[in-house]
Amino acid sequence: MTFKDRPVLGVIACNRTVEAQSAQAVMNRYLESALKYADAAALLVPALPELMHAKEIAPRLDGILLTGTPSNLDPKRYGQIIDNAPGPFDPSRDEMTAHLIEAMLDLGKPVFGICRGFQELNVAFGGTLRRDMAEHPDLIAHHAPSEKTFVEYFEHLHPVELIEGGVLERAYQSETLDVVSVHYQGVDTLGAGLAVEATAPDGVIEAVSANVNGGQVLAVQWHPEWKVDENPQSQTFFKLLGKALRREPLVAS
């Protein structure tokens, strides 16, 4: 591979257990999607807030990607004290991403999110989450039944409506998309300053955007990284990330 002077994307890691040992982990599908379609280099950001601070690394990154992961945000992060809230939890990731979002936006640098990352951004902007997205009778199923296999989870699709005039509607030149939906939690109260970019048929918010100090925020509840090579619409999300890293307009005005 020849050297290219590409922007550097920070990708948040999660605390996972690998062969009975603690590890920092990111699924390759997020990295491969971003490096290929955003045309960026990447550095992993460990979720170890007791050993490093986001302000140490934010000036060295051109943007960050907050990935999906099996863990849920602790409800205490958005002001709800609940004894039986469903886990698993990763409090160190909660802490690191909260500081990382703040540090990057203070510098006017882009922050993109997928699934948990979408939820983290909503909470960072003062929003709250609900935890009943899979089986609530008034909602469509946002997650496949729990007895399904991992691959079957990611075969679970539903449509979203793109908000007219939004970043995604203009980028996709479409009113709707079919998206991979794998989440139990989602937006309850929208964070202040976030614009809705897409909604599910039941009205649940599925994508948001903002611009803070010139830094682009864009996050989706669905999973564009899943089988991205087979889906040009998913590739578009990461191409938007590439434009944001280069401080280019995401869509033509």
Q: How far apart are CA 124 and CA 43, in angstroms?
A: 22
CA distances from 88 to 72, 73, 195 (A): 6, 9, 29
> What ranges in the chain are assigned the alpha helix state H?
28-37, 54-57, 91-106, 116-124, 150-153, 167-172, 232-245
Active site members: 115, 223, 225
Q: How far apart are CA 187 and CA 84, in angstroms?
A: 19
Helices (H) and strands (E) in the chain, counts: 7, 13
